[in-house]
Amino acid sequence: MRSLVKFLIPLLLVLLSACSSAPKMATPKLEQKGTLKAHPGLLGQPVPPELREAEERKVARVDATGAQENPSGANEPANATSPRETAKASGTREKTKNDTLPSSPGSLYFDYKDARIRPDHERLLDEHAGKLTANRKAKLRIEGHADERGSDGYNKQLGMKRAESVKQALTKRGVNPKQLKLLSLGKSRPKVKGHDEASWAENRRADLIYERE
């Protein structure tokens, strides 16, 4: 029995020594290799200060870019119309009808005892014809005048002939005759009250007056 105990004691000592000296398994360390690198935070490792600062700068740049693209901070549709633009468009539509008419009446002048249209008035007739054809509801009154020389009856007839000449010129340019009204005032309403050629030249005329609705 003693011999068995002597044999077992050294054996136990050897076994205990072997267990205490067994190598410990080291925790494998994950390293970033190759072109694809994982974020240290995903690997359970602390994030280096330089990497954290770089990420914060990147986020700041993205926020600044978004603020420049939408400075008001509102998500408005691309085709949204501001109230000012809407009011402007509405005002334009309301003024369209009146804007087609000249702001002031025009006058055509004639030679002595003559009712023919002078060549220098062709452009004025073109302008009025364009306004009248653009707005078929517009009404134009053509008033024929004469200077003080001659009788009342003669100047009445001459004033009407001048008004009719203007009417014919406008209808040839496409104006509806129903838009025109003729009136002769003869020498009763001179533009200039004088007794010389300069005054008479101002009074031999046809006035174009638009009648507003």
Q: Output the pTM of the full model.
A: 0.53
Q: pLDDT class for 53, splitting at 50, 70, 90?
A: confident
- Is residue 158 domain-resident? yes
- Is residue 50 domain-resident? no
- Is residue 170 domain-resident? yes
DSSP structural state of residue 84? H
- Is residue 5 domain-resident? no
CA distance 149 to 139: 31
Q: Is the pLDDT of residue 19 over 90?
A: no
Q: In what order do the strands lie in the sheet with 180-186?
A: 106-109, 205-211, 139-145, 180-186
Q: Domain containing 190 — which CATH number?
A: 3.30.1330.60
Q: pLDDT class for 56, splitting at 50, 70, 90?
A: confident
* Number of independent structural domains in the chain: 1
- Is residue 130 domain-resident? yes
- Is residue 182 domain-resident? yes
Classify residue 28 by burial, with Cβ atoms within 10 Å: 0-12, 13-18, 19+: exposed
Q: Using an 8 Å Cβ cutoff, are 185 and 113 in contact?
A: no
- Is residue 199 domain-resident? yes
Residue 40: its pLDDT value, please? 61
For CA atoms 51, 57, 58, 63, the dihedral sign is positive
| Domain containing residue 127 | 107-208
The per-residue pLDDT for range 69-104, each reduced to its tens digit, is 555 544 544 444 554 554 455 444 444 444 444 444
Q: Is the pLDDT of residue 169 over 90?
A: yes
CA distance 41 to 98: 73
- Is residue 200 domain-resident? yes
